[in-house]
Amino acid sequence: MSQADKLFSGYQQFVDKLDQTHYFVKFFPNCNLIQTWLVVTDNALSCDFRCYRLNPRNVDQDILEYLDVWKQLPVEIQTEIQNGILAVQQENQEKMATARAARKPRGEYADLPRQVACTADCCDTSDYMPPGTLVKKAGIKYLEGDERAAALKEFLDAYQCSGCQPRKRGKARNPLYKNIPRTVNCNGKDCGKECTINAKSVYEQTGGDAKQIKAYCDEYLCRSCNPEWGSWLKGKSRGRKPKAENVGFPKQVQCVGCSKPVHIVPQNIRDKAEKMGISTEELLDNYKCRSCGGVVRGPNRKKRKTKKAKATA
């Protein structure tokens, strides 16, 4: 039971035409208004409501009769409520009439079957096909007479269900790639591995020329057999291909203070040597880690005072 039901347990509950929940209190014949408690919010923790005066025109006739208000209303208001109901009914009837008028006459599809049998061998299934779909598939939308009957018979005689003749699904392939196969075999020695190729990349390299595409497929090498692919990864070290200025630069250096190996970045070492005013080779030969005091401070950074210096000050 909701909070509102607990609070207004002795009142009659009803819903107006706007789907708002009310609890009936009293009807005032002099002004033809219904006093109610209008529920604004109602949940397990709280209930928000307010006193409300409702126009009977916003309530259905059967609810007014249930509240014993209908007989107390003037004839004019009763007529307005009844005319409103009739207007809604008339509007619904007009919508239904419009929808029926929009339908195509049944005579147009009188010669079309609703069940289409599969003509494949060893298959006795039949599929339900709406007339509009059958007209599109058979291509008889604008045909008439004997020509329409002949085209329909030709379609029915060649029809096969989706189990005997699976339909192609998905997006159609770009016509520019019609000469490019989806897979090729590796031409490496004793390999023959089947590889999937990128049609767009092949088209950009060959320009769509059939001879160049055939030569590309005949000379194709997989990644394992291609000496040019990933050549910088085939050595002992793996990672990105280094820049030209970093080729041969050491990956780590040994601290002269604690003999600990420290991984370094080439550009950081160059910047550090420039700040110290020495060469890169000299810095690598006399490198100190952070623990041994090898920290380079910027020109605008103040030097920290040690405990000894603070005590002296």
Interval 28-50: pLDDT, tens: 988 889 999 888 887 777 788 88
Range with the poorest average pLDDT among 8-22, 101-115, 169-183, 294-308:
294-308
| pLDDT for the residue 213 | 92
The pLDDT score that the predictor gives to residue 227 is 76
Q: Residue 40 has what pLDDT?
A: 84
Residue 183 has pLDDT above 90, yes or no: yes
- The reported pLDDT for the residue numbered 92 is 80
Q: Higher model confidence: residue 294 or residue 177? A: 177
Mean pLDDT in residue range 58-76: 89
pLDDT of residue 198: 92
3-state SS record for the chain? CCHHHHHCCCCEEEECCCCCEEEEEEEECCCCEEEEEEEEEECCCCEEEEEEEECHHHCCHHHHHHCCCHHHCCHHHHHHHHHHHHHHHHHHHHHHHHHHHHCCCHHHHCCCCCEEECCCCCCCCEEECCHHHHHHHHCCCCCCHHHHHHHHHHHHHHCCCCCCCCCCCCCCCCHHHCCCCCEEECCCCCCCCEEECCHHHHHHHHCCCHHHHHHHHHCCCCCCCCCCCCHHHCCCCCCCCCCHHHCCCCCEEECCCCCCEEECCHHHHHHHHHHHCCCHHHHHHCCCCCCCCCCCCCCCCCCCCCHHHHHHC
Distance, in Å, from the CA atom of 137 to the CA atom of 132, rounded to the nearest integer, reads 9
Query: What's residue 305's pLDDT?
Result: 57
If one compares 136 and 107, the residue with the highest pLDDT of the two is: 136
pTM of the model: 0.32
Quote the pLDDT of residue 230.
65
State what percent of residues in the chain have pLDDT above 90: 20
